[in-house]
Amino acid sequence: MVFDPSTYLDGVPFEEIARLRSQSPVVWVDEIPVLGWPAGPGFWLVLRHAEVESVLARPQLFSSAAGATQIRDPATPEALNYVRQMMLNMDPPDHARLRRLLTRSFTRRAVSQLEDGIRDHARAICDRVFTGAGGECDFAEEVAADLPLLALADVLGVPQQDRWLLFDWSNRVIGYQDPDYASSAVFHASDGTPMARQALELRPEPSGDGQMPDPRTREGMPDLYAYAHLLAEEKRRHPGDDVMSILLAQVDDNGGQVSVAEFENMFWLFAVAGNETLRNGLPGACIALLEHPDAQDDLRADPALMPAAVDEMLRWWTPVMTFRRTATASCELGGRSIAKGDKVVVSFASANRDEAVFESPDRLDIRRQPNPHLVFGYGPHFCLGAHLARTQMRALFAEVLARTSSLTYAGQPSYLRSNFQRGVKRLPVTWTA
C-alpha cells in the first residue's frame, strides 16, 4: 500500500504508516508490479526520525550513487550512469566539488536580488487572482504554479517567456506515474525565444500506446538538453547576473571550470527540484490553512508568526515523501540486518510525524518550536534551494492572507499519482476579500 503510487490519489496513508512506525523503525516493503512496471527487489523503508538522520548522515554506507536516489532502479546500466552525472546522485568526494561551486554561486548579491524578485512575483500573481470582493480560484493552478517557475527562471537566467518549458519538463519527470502529467505540453513554441523554438523541435511525442520515452534518460529529455546547451553557450558568451552565469564563470580547486555537460545536468536537476517541490508545497500549505482556519486568523493577526508557520506547514504537508539510498556494506539499522546492495528508502512523510520528536504530530501548530523537520533532507545533500523555497512560501502567503479574510474549500482537491512527491493537481478555493 505505501509503495503503490495509486494509493496517493486518495492522500497519504498516515494511519498505516504510523502503525508501521510504532512496530519498527525500519520495515521491509515488497515492490509489487504497479502501473505496468515489473516487480522490483523490494526495499527497507526507514520510518523514524533518528534512523532517517542516521542514514542520510552516512553517505559512504548509504550511497546516493550506487543505485541513484529513486525507489525504482534505473532501467539499464547506461541509464544509471547517466543519472549519476547529477549532483543529487553523487557521493563524496565527487559531490563536494559541484556542491561547493554551486554554493559559491549563490552570492549574497544574487540571493538578495532573487528575494526581491520573488516578492514582486508573489504580488503580481495575487494582483491577478484576488480582485474584487471575493470569488473562487484553483489555488494549485492559478496561484501556486507560476511562482516557482518565475523564481527558477531568475535563478537559471532563463528568459521569462520560456518559463513554462520548465513546467512541462518537471511534469514529465515527476509526473511520469500520472497520465495527466506524463506527456505535459503546455508551452507553445510561438510564445518563446528562438532558443526555445529550436529546443522544441526535439520534444518527444507519446507513442501509439500513449507511452513517453523514459524521462530519466538523456534520450527521454532531448528538448531540455538542447535548451540547456544553448543557454550555457549563450551565458558563456554574454554572462548575466543570474546564479548559472556566476556558476559558469567559477573556477574549481584544480583550476577547472564547470563543463557544458555538467551544466546541462545541473540545469535538469534545478528545473525539476526547484519547481515541482514548491508547486506541491504551496497548495499543500494552503490545504494546511484550509483545514485549520484558526491558523489563518492567527497569521492574519500576527504576520510575525509567518517564518515558523511556513516551516510547520512544510512539515505537515512534506512535499517530498521519500528518497532512496543503497547500502554499500552489510550493516544493522533500527534492529534490522541490511545486506550489501539493499535499497534503503527514507520516509520524510513518516519521520516528520514521528511522535518521539514532534508532540501531537498530526496537529498543525504554527508556533511549534523547535521544529526539526526533515522536509529538505539532512546531511551532505541537504536541499540547496531551502532558503529560496522558504522565501517563496513566506512571500506568497503574506500576500494571500493580507488580501483575504477567509479561505475555504470550494471543492475536492485532486492529488498526484506518485509515491515520491505529495502532489496537488487541483485545489478549488473560495476566498473573501
Which positions touch ligand HEM (CB under 6 A)? 56, 64, 69, 87-88, 99, 155, 269-270, 273-274, 277-278, 281, 319-320, 323, 375-377, 381, 383-385, 388-389
Torsion of CA 260, 262, 264, 270, to 10 degrees: -140
- Least separation in angstroms between residue 384's CB and ligand HEM is 4
Which are the contacts of 229, defined by CB distance < 8 A and separation ≥ 6? 260, 264
Our CA dihedral for 142, 147, 150, 151, rounded to 10 degrees, sits at -170
Taking the complex as a whole, the smallest distance from the CB of residue 259 to ligand HEM amounts, in Å, to 17
> What DSSP line would sit under 383-424, residue for residue?
-TTHHHHHHHHHHHHHHHHHH-SEEEESS--EE---SSB--E
Between 389 and 395, CB nearer to ligand HEM: 389
Least Cβ distance, residue 351 to ligand HEM (angstroms): 11
For residue 57, which phi and psi values (nearest 5 degrees)?
Answer: -85, -10
Identity of the residue, 164 or 376, whose beta carbon is nearer to ligand HEM in the bound complex: 376
Q: Which CB atom, from 19 or from 100, has the smaller least distance to ligand HEM? A: 100
Q: Which residues contact 208 (CB under 8 A, 6 or more apart)?
A: none
Residue 132 CA to chain centroid, in angstroms?
33
Taking CB atoms, the residue at the shortest distance from ligand HEM is 385
Rounded to a whole number of angstroms, the minimum distance from the CB of residue 97 to ligand HEM is: 11
Name which of 184 and 277 has its Cβ closer to ligand HEM: 277
Q: Which is nearer to ligand HEM, 203 or 399 (CB)?
A: 399
**Rounded least distance, CB 207 to ligand HEM, Å:** 31
In this complex, which beta carbon is closest to ligand HEM, that of residue 273 or of residue 306?
273
Peptide bond into 92 cis (omega under 30): no
Whether residue 213 is preceded by a cis peptide bond, meaning omega within 30 degrees of 0, is no
Specify the DSSP element, H or E, that contains 153.
helix 146-156
- Which CB sits closer to ligand HEM, 56 or 79? 56
In whole angstroms, the minimum distance from the beta carbon of 90 to ligand HEM comes to 7
The smaller minimum CB distance to ligand HEM, of residues 91 and 223, is found at: 91
Q: What is the CA radius of gyration of the chain?
A: 21
Cell digits of residue 129: 487572482
Report, in Å, the least distance between residue 188 CB and ligand HEM.
25
Q: Which is nearer to ligand HEM, 183 or 326 (CB)?
A: 326
For 33, 52, 341, the CA distances from 39, given in Å and listed in that order, are 4, 25, 17
Would you say 334 or 385 has its CB closer to ligand HEM? 385
Triad 121, 273, 245: Cα angle to 5° = 70
How does strand 343-347 pair with strand 43-46? parallel
Residue 281 in contact with residue 311, Cβ under 8 Å? Answer: no
Compute the least distance from the CB of residue 385 to ligand HEM, in Å: 2
* Structural contact between residues 327 and 340, judged by C-beta atoms closer than 8 angstroms: yes
Nearer to ligand HEM, 320 or 366 (CB): 320
Closest CA to 243 of 270, 217, 219, 222: 270
Pure H helices in 157-292: 163-174, 194-200, 222-237, 243-249, 260-273, 276-291
Nearest Cα to Cα of residue 228 among 272, 181, 177: 272
Shortest approach of ligand HEM to residue 98 CB, angstroms?
8
